[in-house]
Amino acid sequence: MRAYQTNPFQGHIVTFNRQSRLEPNTMDIQQLLEVKPNELAEGLLARWKALEDQLPNVIRNLEAEEEALSPRVKKAVESHKKANEIVAEKKNERDSSQAVARAKLSEVKESIELLSEKGGMVSLDPEWKKVKLLEELENIEDKIETSALDHKEEGKLIAKRRKLIEKNEKWLKDRRESNPEMSKYVDSRKTMISNFRISEAAHSRMLKAVEKAQPLYEKKISLQSEIRDIRRQLDRARELYAQSSDAISLWEGKLSTGFGDSSAGFDDLLADMNRVLGGGASSFARKKRKKKEEEE
């Protein structure tokens, strides 16, 4: 809860407690022009005295709010940081497994080419030819690696990759038993599949971690914004309180000695008005005449 707010039209002078009776009054232009200097000075003096009286309590309330909120902000920041660390950990696990699998994918492709040259792959299952596992996997990996995909799109590609792999499992088992030359190929492929699956599992865990981290992030941002607002108000209240004593002395002096020059070096605030009332020229007329003389 905000302890006070600032009137934007009055700047540093008019600041009031939300619970106080120091509400800003609405005046039209004519009423404002009719305000006498003494009345204005008395109003400003009353305002500063009220601020001097009320601001200590405002400052204490704001300090209490800041003290109560600070541990919550710290906890929210730490919770979000830990959640982000889990996301990063799962992402690294996914990426590293994908990197291993992609490397093995190249080895598998080379093994197939070598076995084909030696005739070891002549009796490929028609279904294997139709599916073209390696080409499909390469296309999927290329999309995952180079395309700007969201989590759902990437998940669809991962699911497609899994189905392709499962479809060829039986064929691999049979071929290894019947052709020893394919051992390297099968071993490489086994490592590839294993890492793809590890990557897929890590990706799923990463998505769950992202879901958990999102509300923690929103809570952190909300609390940080709240405490910034409190600290901004607190700084403003302290600044006004520091100014109040000098402001009170100033306006008490003006009410006591008048608005002419003083020993403190203040300008005569009513000099222009008194000159016009005495039959003299206004500031505008004097400047216009001076400009004309300079031109001549």
> For each of the chain's 296 residues, which pLDDT tens digit applies?
444 433 333 344 334 343 443 445 556 677 766 777 788 888 888 999 999 999 999 999 999 999 999 999 999 999 999 999 999 999 999 999 989 988 888 888 887 777 777 665 544 444 544 446 667 777 777 777 777 777 778 777 778 777 777 776 766 666 666 666 677 777 888 888 889 889 889 998 999 999 999 999 999 999 999 999 999 999 999 999 999 999 998 888 888 887 665 555 555 556 666 666 666 666 666 666 666 666 66
CA–CA gap between residue 3 and residue 56 (Å, rounded): 11
Residues sharing a CB contact under 8 Å with residue 216, sequence separation 6 or more, in sequence order: 76, 79, 80, 83
Three-state DSSP class for residue 22: coil
Helix axes 183-257, 151-167, angle to 10 degrees: 170
Q: Among 31, 26, 39, 59, which residue's Cα sits nearest to residue 240?
A: 59
Name the token pair of 131: 């599916």
For residue 43, the model assigns a pLDDT of: 87
Residue-level pLDDT at 254: 81
Look at residue 273 in the predicted model and tell me its pLDDT. 62
Alpha-carbon dihedral angle through residues 91, 97, 100, 104, given to the nearest 10 degrees: -130
Identify whether the C-beta of residue 196 lies closer than 8 Å to the C-beta of residue 136: no
Please give the C-alpha separations between residue 238 and each of 12, 183, 231, 246, 279, in angstroms, as whole numbers: 12, 79, 10, 14, 46
What is the reported pLDDT for 186?
Answer: 76
How high is the pLDDT of residue 20? 43
Give the single-character DSSP code of 17: E
CA pair distance 63, 231, nearest whole angstrom = 8
Q: How many CB atoms lie within 10 A of CB 38?
A: 12
CB proximity list for 7: less than 8 A, separation 6 or greater: 14, 15, 16, 24
Q: Side-chain half-sphere of 18: how many Cα atoms within 13 Å?
A: 9
Q: How many residues does the chain have?
A: 296
CB 105 within 8 A of CB 137: yes
Q: Which of 284, 262, 259, 253 is nearest to 271 (CA)?
A: 259
Among 120, 238, 259, 250, which Cα is nearest to 185's? 120
Structure tokens at 40: 């204005």
Q: Which residues contact 234 (CB under 8 A, 6 or more apart)?
A: 59, 62, 63, 66
58 contacts 28 by C-beta, under 8 angstroms: no
